[in-house]
A = this chain, B = another copy of it.
Amino acid sequence: MSKLQEKVAALPAEPCCPALTERELTAEEAELTAAMFKALGDPVRLRLFSKVASHPDSEACVCDIADVGVSQPTVSHHLKKLKEAGLLLSERRGTWVYYRVEPSILAAMGRLLTPGTAPKAA
């Protein structure tokens, strides 16, 4: 995970890749993009992400979202994965740790799924 992690961190943050319909992804683009989809590809992580994203200011304390049916260490593990994928940011404020959605990430992923740019057959 660490090499990929470096690549994710080195991204220009905004526009990783073209829409999936625009052209076929290169191997490297696919690797980077798949890592984000993979992060959302677990039910527990998706619920955690949704909980954070739907909280006021897209920010939530771990204690607010930890009730997803798994142990707290597991919650922590998943939050770490989401953070490594570049989907969440975390910050400690006193007693609690807050996670929030990386601002541009939703738009970027949404752009990937933009439909309708595939050419018609003759």
Interface on A for B, CB 8 Å cutoff? 20-25, 27, 30-31, 33-35, 37-47, 49-51, 53-59, 68-69, 101, 106-107, 109-110, 113-115, 117-122
Judging by beta carbons under 8 Å apart, are A120 and B25 in contact? no
Judging by beta carbons under 8 Å apart, are A56 and B120 in contact? yes
Known contacts A22-B54, A27-B69; A115 and B120 CB within 8 A of each other: no
Can you list 17 contacts pairing A with B, beta carbon distance less than 8 Å?
A: A20-B49, A21-B53, A22-B54, A23-B54, A27-B43, A31-B43, A34-B40, A34-B43, A34-B46, A37-B40, A38-B38, A56-B121, A57-B121, A106-B115, A107-B113, A110-B113, A110-B114
Instruction: State the number of copies, please.
Output: 2
Bound form: Cα–Cα A39–B56 in Å: 30
